Amino acid sequence: MGRAFEYRRAAKEKRWDKMSKIFPKLGKAITLAAKEGGVDPTSNAKLRTAIQNAKAENMPKDNIEAAISRAIQKDTAFFSEMNYEGKGPHGVLVFVECATDNPTRTVANVKSYFNKAGGGIVPTGSLEYMFQRKSVFELDKPDELDIEELELNLIDAGVEELELIENNLFIYGDYTAFGSIAKALEEMDLEIQKSSLKRFPTSPVEFSEEQLLEIEKMLDKIEDDDDIQQVFTNIA
């Protein structure tokens, strides 16, 4: 979704009950990463990122360790990552990323969220070209950091743009450069607060406040679902 809308949604998320809304999603991301690449974060970059994001949301250490442990338990459900694409109220385009142990349940739920809002699911791949996938890193900017110099030093790692909002530094690059950018930042001893792969609309669309209220009702229902990891739209 557009960056302005991203920040607006982020501000809203801060008001949510993190224990019931955010922690389960973070825990699932940790378990998935540990299952995929092993339980040692020093050798598993995806797990290291998932733990980093959980710490940024003040997820307790016990919860993080429990999520890692679930990856090696024999009775742990197998989670698969799936994407769904759809159109919502007023033609808004929505890309939904999921992690689920029951794809039948998840697709039924996702379809119902769209249908009840007057929209619907579209065939997989229909909206892929409408979004650009980017690596996104968020840092607290050190006082002595020279932004222009940092950008020059990170170009070879694949960084395309830096953006400073208050004291938060956002670093963007192609999704294929995620690993190289993370490595470069670590080598510079810059502490990453959060990092992820996000989808940004290639042609953001402006909606009225009334339309946004209707769209956000649907987005809230989608994001409340524990199987949903990330949601992206073409809202400017």
| Residues 192-226 pLDDT 10s | 999 999 999 999 999 999 999 999 999 999 999 99
pLDDT tens track for 118-162: 999 999 999 999 999 999 999 999 889 999 999 999 999 999 999
pLDDT band at 80 (very low <50, low <70, confident <90, very high): confident
Rounded to 10°, the helix 61-70/23-37 angle is 40
- Please tell me the distance from the alpha carbon of residue 13 to that of residue 9, in angstroms, as a whole number: 6
| Whole-prediction pTM | 0.86
**What pLDDT sits at residue 8?**
56
Cβ atoms within 10 A of the Cβ of 80, count?
12
Range name among 12-26, 74-88, 93-107, 119-133 with the lowest pLDDT average: 12-26
The pLDDT value recorded for residue 22 is: 87
Overall average pLDDT of the 228-232 stretch: 95
Question: What average pLDDT is seen over the chain?
Answer: 91
Q: How confident is the model at residue 21 (pLDDT cuts 50, 70, 90)?
A: confident
For residue 19, what pLDDT is reported? Answer: 52
| Long-range residue pairs from 143-152, CB within 8 A, at least 24 positions apart, any chain | 145/169, 145/190, 150/188
Q: Does residue 61 surpass a pLDDT of 50?
A: yes
Say if residues 2 and 235 touch (Cβ distance below 8 Å): yes
pLDDT of 77 above 80: no
Query: Over the range 128-143, which residues count as b (16 or more CB within 10 Å of their CB) and which as e?
Result: eeebeebbbbbbebee
12 confidence band (pLDDT: 50, 70, 90) = low
Q: What is the DSSP string of 85-108?
A: EEE-GGG-EEEEEEEES-HHHHHH
What pLDDT is recorded for position 214? 96
Enumerate domains of the chain plus CATH numbers.
3-70 (1.10.10.200)
Residue whose C-alpha is closest to residue 184's, from 147, 143, 137, 146: 137
pLDDT, mean of residues 93-105: 95
Q: Is the pLDDT of residue 232 over 80?
A: yes
Q: Is the pLDDT of residue 2 over 70?
A: no
Which of 4, 211, 214, 234 is closest to 126 using CA atoms? 234
- CA–CA gap between residue 54 and residue 213 (Å, rounded): 29
First to last CA, the chain: 7
pLDDT for the residue numbered 7: 54
Nearest to 163 by CA among 192, 130, 131, 141: 141
- What is the C-alpha to C-alpha distance for residues 182 and 174, in angstroms, rounded to an integer? 12
Give the pLDDT band of residue 177 (cuts 50, 70, 90).
very high
